[in-house]
Amino acid sequence: MKRLWRRISEPIIELCIRLSGIVVVIFVFLIFLFLLRYSLSLFRHSPLGRFLFGHQWLPISDPPQFGVIPLLLGSVLVTFWAVVICVPLGVGSAMFIAEVAPKAIKNVLKSFVEILAAIPSVVLGFLGIIWLGPVLRDTFHLSTGMCGLTGSLLLAFMALPTIISISEDALTGVPRSYREAAFGLGATRWQTLWRVILPSASPGIVAAVMLGIGRVVGETMVVLMVTGNAPVIPTSILQPLRTLTATIAGEMGETVGGSEHYYALFAVGLVLFVITFIINLIADLFLRRARK
Amino acid sequence: MFAGCGENIDPNEPQGFIQAKGSDTMVNAIQMVSEEFMKEYPHIFIAVTGGGSGVGIASLINKTCDVATASREMKPKEIEIANQHGVHPREIVVAFDGVAVIVNKNNPVDKLTLEDLHNIFTGKATNWKQFGGKNLHIVTLSREVSSGTHMYFKEEVIQLGKKDSKEEFSKETLLLTSSQAIVEEVAGNEEAIGYLGMGYLSDRTKALRIAKSGEAYPPTIENVLQKTYPLSRGLYAYTDGEPEGVVKRFIDFTLSPAGQRQFIETGFVPARTSPVEAGAQSHTGGMIAR
């Protein structure tokens, strides 16, 4: 009886698991189609070239200008600096937690990293407005603290938990025998960490970094609150700029379904989707290599 | 049908749910009006949300709110789109407002002409020295494009009232998501200049006197009522067709003395004045003029 039950139940469970996997893929595909369909409606009104290469974003002017370049460069610049700040910090912390720290400190640090991930982005944005912005303004003698760097710093802070936990997993995953071999050859602790463990964990670390970047590119609330949202083509991280995500969040409420502006925001969403898709794809390729 | 509440509601008592959405300038005033209203009609619930006048108008057209609040008039194009969606907006003036221009308290400049504002916000003038201030760069702050105040300011200051003008806000202008964010930035930044509804004036920032041609006037209730303050405007509520049922009750209450008092208390100018209100007005007016 029991055996019979198992013979029936196992294929059912397997089917359910397989179905849920397929459903997720279908959803992603449907979202992509949905974005594509609405974006294409924009290109019926204004040509694709004007959207992709236009350098002005003036959605409520007459006639409106939907040039994605200032927004795209805003996102790229903020993300670049966030990565420059958070990658060394994140990988460094992961190395400390995984290899150097005594067990007691390790546990405390790990739980703090988890708490860091739990801070809502709107709270960070608020801190950015009332504290970080003014501090940066006074430090760099800027006209205003609402600039790209404020956004980059807060985003770096938000990407840290992702980078630290995944890199730490990668470092801990390096086989014990590597360490023993290195020590056996007379390597110091630092040499072992830097020359043996880090290179063998590198695919996992690259994946961690890519996932961190994905998080930074897609983050909305913080950049909407602190970067000033001026739709200029940014030349420096110390000036106000406008990102793709902040544009969608700031403007979506006022668009009427079916208007040109409405479709333009979907097109911005498509650009964002393509960027995060590529980043996640790269992360996935590296993770796969790490598993081999 | 709703017997599950376990409470016996008098069937004659009005009950329902109203969604009021739109202007951030008006959101505090409308919130206070609806709190007073709900004291009187405990079985009518009102949800008040901001987001900007554009958000309210878009939701009225998308049929996701009952009352759209707006700090600007609906544009002919918007009315046309509304009609296409089967929505027929009905405009009600609920109060008046002056768009105040604020600077940091340490900024020695205390009056500007509309022409000056135009030059500052279009990026033609970039130093406070040109207006008798310190040798500092000017940081212009604006609301997001969904804001009715943004739209109003664009028409009156950027385009100086000319419909065919192609002038735009300077690209360097910061677009902030709320009036409160503008207050925070101006309060902490000596180089900043921003604009917002009178309801957001406080002693943390300094409101400039504005001149159209000739004398400059501060944004006070008297100056808005007499239209001597150049940036005076109406605050509106829009409904789909004539308001009826609970929505009509809410609009009537908003225009009643009890409703209008909430606008005075949040720093706006009432649309309907009675002798009693006139006394309260000059009182608040005096406070803002300070």
* Backbone angles phi and psi of B32, in degrees to 5: -65, -40
Domains of chain A by start residue, with CATH: 57-291 (1.10.3720.10)
Do the beta carbons of residue A147 and residue A241 sit within 8 Å?
A: yes
Do the beta carbons of residue B142 and residue B99 sit within 8 Å?
A: no
Which of A122, A138, A144, A248 is the mutation pick for testing B, counting most B CBs within 10 A? A144
Closest chain B residue by Cα to residue A221? B177
Q: What is the pLDDT of residues A249-269, one digit of tens each?
A: 988 877 777 788 899 999 999
What confidence score (pLDDT) does residue B169 get?
A: 92
> Is A259 part of the contact surface with chain B (CB cutoff 8 Å)?
yes
- Of residues B53, B144, B151, nearest to A250 (C-beta): B144
SS3 A241: strand
SS3 B239: strand
State the Cα–Cα distance between residues A215 and A156, nearest whole angstrom.
10
Per the CB < 8 Å rule, is A129 touching B181?
yes
Per the CB < 8 Å rule, is A250 touching B181?
no
Give B78's contacts in chain A (Cβ within 8 Å): 256
Q: What is the pLDDT of residues A29-74, one digit of tens each?
A: 999 999 999 999 888 878 888 899 988 898 888 788 899 999 999 9
Q: Given strand B209-211, what is the order of strands in its sheet?
A: B111-113, B209-211, B216-217
| Structure confidence at residue A285 as a pLDDT band (50, 70, 90) | confident
The answer to pTM > 0.90 is: no
The encoded tokens of residue A206 equal 């690259």
Q: What is the pLDDT of residues B119-155, one digit of tens each?
A: 999 999 999 999 999 999 999 999 988 888 998 999 9
Does B286 score more than 50 pLDDT?
Answer: no
**Range name among A250-259, B219-228, B234-243 with the lowest pLDDT average:** A250-259
Closest chain A residue by Cα to residue B171? A232
Give A256's contacts in chain B (Cβ within 8 Å): 57-58, 61-62, 78, 81, 85
Does B288 score more than 70 pLDDT?
Answer: no
- Of residues A61, A130, A225, nearest to B168 (C-beta): A61
ipTM of the complex: 0.78
What confidence score (pLDDT) does residue A259 get?
A: 84
| Structure confidence at residue A291 as a pLDDT band (50, 70, 90) | low
